[in-house]
Chain A
Amino acid sequence: MKLCPIVVVLWLACLTALPGETQESVAGDPGARHLFQEAVRLEEEGDLDKALETYRLVAKQFPESSFAPRSVLRRGWGLFHKLDNDGSLQAAQEVIEKYSGSRHAAGGHVLTAEIRAREAQDRSGLEAARTEFRRVALLFPRETYPRLPIRAEARVRAGEISRLLGELPIAAAAFLSAIEDEPLSEWTIRAELGLANVFLAQGDWLAAAEVFQRVLLSATPEGRFDHEVKEEARWRLTLIHRLILRPSSGRASWGSARVISLKDELKRPVAVAAHDEGRLAIVDRKLNALIWLTVEGAEDGRIPVEDPGRPWWAQERRDDLTGELYLAETRRVVWLPGQSAQTFEIPSGDKQEAVKGLEAGQQGLFGQFFLLQRSSDRVLAFDAQGSFLDTVTDDDPIDLTRDEQGRLYVLSKTGTVQRFSPEGSPDGAVFRESWDNAVGLEVDPLGHIYILERGQKRVRVYDAAGGLVTTVGPSLPNGIELRKPVDLAIDGRGRLFIADEGLKGVVVLE
């Protein structure tokens, strides 16, 4: 089973101490305390199975101890970590029912909500998870429980789900509640990041910049999210700087350019994907290889591929620096961290027919695959297990991408960019322009749309309202000329990457 994108975010929450536990007293039954501490030690040392068994013993042998609900809850999180949703849910319900009114019961609701979010297959699933998160604030109101860190966590998670669902004002309110109605905690910084992202998505870049910067200046003790949250805030600020402030002060968004290649040179780079951290995945159709490059140009590994299309990274990839890279090959999609592959079938009369001619793809909000089939000029939607769901569009698609809210953007030969809901339905937004052989499409967190025009050897950047922000190429800084650009990518800090067959390399604009 593959993880749903939402789940990946949550791992960070469940791998470390339980919310609110750091403030708890360790007073209580000495036997229970000893056993509990032993379980925690085992968990910290990575022996999860033994830890879970020990937690179970604590709850069984000392049911009246204050360590019992904590043990049940930690066991629930451990099972969640082991992807045992049923066991985890059972533990969460046990805490809720046996220890109602305690802060651990609030933890039970959060765990239940996380399981619901993991299991969500559609909007209603996510909404159910959000409802469970919201239940914490209703059952454990601040008037009675002024200090309950897990309530802040529940508010933040509810806000994050609202943001994914595209309900931006609701998301903003949830983040504000976590920021302003709860004591400062490690969740505050995450709420601030969420709020800033909402402001950004709403087009209020100034409000967003202010909050992103506050995230960077956050003086709260280093929490478990600090590094990644601050890093993301800095990327966003860099984007704002590059794409809003510099153009508004008459400066180019990218002041320098360079070409990165390899010692033995790339032969025919046809596609590029950029991780937020700047790690590049380049497909070379002549070498029949996918090559990882650092942004400085050093090779960081390669694997052979057959009939490669375009690679893409899953959007939610905060759990490690490698992330989850997918590559469309003609008949399958390869999941590169594990080098496992998945094939797809579509109904053909009474039969199922293998899909071929895959060129590009994206991961949906609920784990779906949106795959661009060049042979039929369609974008097809499949569920996480590979079952066909629907045809998203058959309007001669050339490239596709998605934004942080899971909305899909499809570039067509007809010179349109059409936007679709996370489920794959047209949401009415269509952007039309007369491009000269547009071959590549990107969307950044500011909502800017990047179009690679092979005919004009340039990249056109538009804001979310369709206004042209800037044009890059064919002449680039440092005397570089685009020759035969074939694909583009943008990383977290707004660096633009253009794969160019003519230059046999990737142009980095920064």
Chain B
Amino acid sequence: MSRGTCLSGPKALGDSWLLPAISAILVSVLLVTPSALLAQPEEEPVSRSSLEDLERRLEDAKDLFFVSTDPVELLQQFSSLLQDLEDYRLAEEQISAERVEQLIVEVLSYRTQLNLNLDRLDLVDVDMRRILRLDPDYEYDSAQVSRKLIEQFEDLRNRLVAFVEVQVSPQDADVRVNGELLEFSTRVVALELESVGGTVEITAERPGYRSTKETLYDLPAGTVTRYELEMERVGPSLRFETVPSGAKVTLTSGAQDKIERRSPLWVGLEPGKYEVEVRLEGYRTKKGPLSLWESIDYSFVERLDRTGGVVSFQPFQEGDGIRVDGDEASPERLSETRIRLKLPPGEHRFLISGDGGVFERTVVLEDRGDIEVEVEKRPGVALAGILGGDRVAADRLRESLLLVARSELEGWALLDRSDVGSDLLHELGLDADLLRSAAESGRILGSDIDWRTIQVRAASIAPASVLLLAALSDDVMASEADLWFLPAPPGPAFPDYRRVRLSEAPALANVLSDFDRPLDLRRVWFGALLIDSYAADSPVVASVDPNSPAAAAGFEVGDELVSIAGHKVARVAEAHALLGASSHENPLQIVVRRSQRQHTLSVTLGSSPAVIRHNAPSLIYASVAARLSAGGTELPEWLEQLNLGMVFLNAGAWEEALYEFRTADGFPRDHALGQAAADYWLGVSLQSIGPDYYAEAAAAFQRAAEAPGARLYHDDGPLIAPRARARLAELGSQN
């Protein structure tokens, strides 16, 4: 039932309920014809307004009600508003119907006053009937309207409206009058007889009681008809609530069909014994018997327990972070290296990141499950996105990357972070055109791409050791893509990129294979220079390093290697392959030709530390940087520093490079690779920075030049001294 508002304020309305409660039913036969409605002033159709619009217009009209000197114009205004409200009600049938009806009643109430003032009594009658049809309880505000109008309205109500007082036992039964549910407190119902045809249907329902339905005919207008009903008890009723609500409750017994309802439920049942099962996702299912033998009301409240299990991770280092299903989680720390998370059952994706890389694992957790996970961090490659308009090619490339990564990336975890990556790239203004332009021009640094910012931002939202981006060659039909690899801090903000043809699957595998290439930072050490000569059938010893394995075995300059471990050798490459594949633990038998005679020499190969080259096309330095940063290489610090320095050299990050070369120390004395190599690369770094550092560079080269047996890269590597002398000469010419 609607409520009057302005003209019949809440208080008036409240009072209005007292009167009808004791009044008789009024019956009127006066019909409201369509023609009467049509008698209203013609209103121009208007475009449909919003409800707020209509409310505002009503307020405007109400403001004018007491000040306007032109009642006709005001009447037209209310009529127009009424038409729009009717249109709105038709169009928005299900939305705000009650509120619209309130507004219509309010407009009608004003219009009745205006028509009364203009002495259009027939129209007043029509509008009052409409008001009563919409709200039989409506009350005009006596302070706002004329007494005449109120009297006329009450007279009409006594002729048109009947009242029914309903009393049902038990009182908590659902009672409906003409299908409309009565609120518990409402037991007197006003009915506009014309709309109900003088008939009222009353139904009463309650679990445990027999439902009843009765029809009252020819209700008299203007009076209260009393209706009393005592319902018949037929069996027990069950009120069943769960905390939380919404659980699926299933009741089964031999006596009646299975009952399935959502909690809370209240049902009438046959007396008997029932099995009840309660299910709610995320909560443990409960089952149990219920004995409902008495014809009384039973009531149960069932508290449900959440389902879940625990997942423990070890080792979990200080500084590590963990994400569960993409969100950061706060685990319970059980010990210095062990954490635990309580989680609902189901599949969960965990990502642990920190020093040493990332660890990703998907776990299916059962209720009450307790899973221990051993954390094995691997450097991670976060695929941040595939840029370019050809989304078909992009999707294909993404799938291929993920597929190939499974077979090619043994030491790495490829993490698809396109979800967060695309926002990041957008935020940073990085698009395919920029990457294409950088690749095309070769202008990778100093362009519009701020690799440092990308590096830092990526590390914060998609933690991994290396960020991977792809740029398609074309927005419409891409045939190639550039894969850009950017190491995470503290690696250099300098990307490697590789071009792959999308139609060639092996190309992608080759790139990822390069990326995954193990860092081989030890190799065998022979200690003699072998050369190929047209004047010899086999490799010739050109020099023997003092204190080397070759020297210890007795090799001499001019010796020609005939065979190694029984394998004849004709070229140095073959000799290197055999030596490289040999163990440095077992002596190797090498036959040499010397002065027309053959001698067998037994050599125990040494082991040499090794430094990567800083300009090898097959190396992806982002990968190297990540591996070195991850630690766990078991390299001596000086060797790790030299290798890191080479990564920075590759990136042109001279200052970072020279820091590594300058601070490296603790070089072993029994290797040709060591201090002089650090000095040499320090000189190169300083020279690259610029003329201000030439003097320092020269000093570094001078030190390197004064180490005659020192070598680059490894103990059998290139001699440093001649190179250092050349660099010195160059610096001299530049000064």
Contact = CB atoms under 8 A, between A and B. Distances in A.
Interface in A171-207: 172-173, 176, 180-185, 195, 198-199, 204, 206-207
Given A147-B442, A169-B730, A237 B719 contact: no
Interface in A455-492: none
B440 A212 contact: no
Contacts of B67: none
Contacts of B531: 209, 212-213, 237, 240-241
Contacts of A220: 617
B719 A210 contact: yes
Contact of A249 (B445, B479, B557, B725): B557
A146 B494 contact: yes
Contacts of A240: 531, 533, 542
Contact of B436 (A25, A147, A185, A251): A25
A249 B436 CA distance: 59
B442 A145 contact: yes
Interface string B712-735: 000000110111011101101100
A101 interface: yes
A127 B651 CA distance: 32
Nearest to A208: B722
B71 interface: no
B730 A173 contact: yes
Interface in A287-343: none
Contacts of A249: 556-559, 594-595
A249 B263 CA distance: 102
Nearest to A220: B617
A173 B722 CA distance: 10
B572 A234 contact: no
B576 interface: yes
A242 interface: yes
Given A145-B442, A146-B444, A184-B617, A248 B558 contact: yes
Interface residues of B, number: 56
Contacts of A245: 540, 542, 557-558
B321 interface: no
B686 interface: no
B684 A242 contact: no
B244 to A, nearest CB: 58
A27 interface: yes
Interface in A11-63: 20, 23-27
B125 interface: no
A19 to B, nearest CB: 11
A27 B445 CA distance: 22
Interface in A204-261: 204, 206-207, 209-214, 216-217, 220, 234-235, 237-238, 240-242, 245-246, 248-251, 255
A180 B572 CA distance: 24
Interface in B638-685: 651-652, 684
B595 A251 contact: yes
A405 to B, nearest CB: 17
B533 A241 contact: yes
B474 interface: yes
Contacts of B684: 180-181
B324 interface: no
A494 B558 contact: no
A415 to B, nearest CB: 31
A122 B214 CA distance: 126
Contacts of B225: none
Contacts of A251: 558, 595
A246 B444 contact: no
Given A176-B723, A176-B726, A210-B718, A143 B532 contact: no
Interface in A74-103: 101-103
Given A144-B445, A237-B533, A251-B558, A172 B729 contact: yes
A493 B534 contact: yes
Contact of A180 (B530, B558, B615): B615
B529 A210 contact: yes
B243 interface: no
A257 to B, nearest CB: 13
Contacts, number: 162
A172 B529 contact: no
B473 interface: yes
Nearest to A211: B718
A148 interface: yes
Contacts of A199: 722
The contact size tier of chain A is: 35 or more
Contacts of B651: 146
B535 A238 contact: yes
A376 interface: no
Interface string A106-150: 000000000000000000000000000000000010111111100
A383 interface: no
A66 interface: yes
B474 A213 contact: no
Contact of A144 (B446, B533, B572, B595): B446
Nearest to B540: A241
A301 B559 CA distance: 40
A207 B719 CA distance: 7
Interface in B597-617: 613-617
A423 to B, nearest CB: 22
A204 B729 contact: no
B83 to A, nearest CB: 63
B445 A143 contact: yes
Contacts of A234: 532-534
B610 to A, nearest CB: 16
Contacts of A207: 719, 721-722
Nearest to A209: B542
A246 B596 CA distance: 12
Contact of A173 (B474, B719, B727): B727
A171 to B, nearest CB: 9
A213 B732 CA distance: 29
A10 interface: no
B536 A241 contact: yes
A182 B652 CA distance: 11
A170 interface: yes
B185 interface: no
Contact of A217 (B443, B576, B723): B576
B407 interface: no
A101 B725 CA distance: 34
A510 interface: yes
B439 A148 contact: no
Given A169-B726, A245-B557, A250-B595, A145 B443 contact: yes
A147 B444 contact: yes
Contacts of A242: 533, 535
A142 B657 CA distance: 15
Interface in B83-107: none
A103 B719 contact: no
26 contacts: A24-B440, A27-B473, A27-B474, A27-B480, A101-B441, A144-B445, A146-B652, A147-B444, A148-B442, A169-B726, A169-B730, A172-B726, A173-B733, A182-B615, A184-B613, A184-B616, A198-B726, A207-B722, A209-B543, A210-B529, A210-B719, A240-B542, A241-B535, A241-B540, A249-B557, A493-B535
Interface of B: 436, 439-446, 473-474, 479-480, 494, 499, 529-536, 540, 542-543, 556-559, 572-573, 576, 594-595, 613-617, 651-652, 684, 688, 718-719, 721-723, 725-727, 729-730, 732-733
Shortest beta-carbon contacts, A-B, top 7: A249-B558, A169-B729, A173-B730, A172-B726, A241-B533, A207-B722, A238-B534
Given A183-B617, A209-B543, 17 more contacts: A23-B499, A24-B440, A27-B436, A143-B445, A144-B444, A145-B441, A169-B729, A172-B722, A173-B733, A181-B688, A213-B530, A238-B533, A241-B540, A241-B542, A245-B540, A245-B542, A249-B559
Interface of A: 20, 23-27, 66, 101-103, 140, 142-148, 169-170, 172-173, 176, 180-185, 195, 198-199, 204, 206-207, 209-214, 216-217, 220, 234-235, 237-238, 240-242, 245-246, 248-251, 255, 493-494, 510
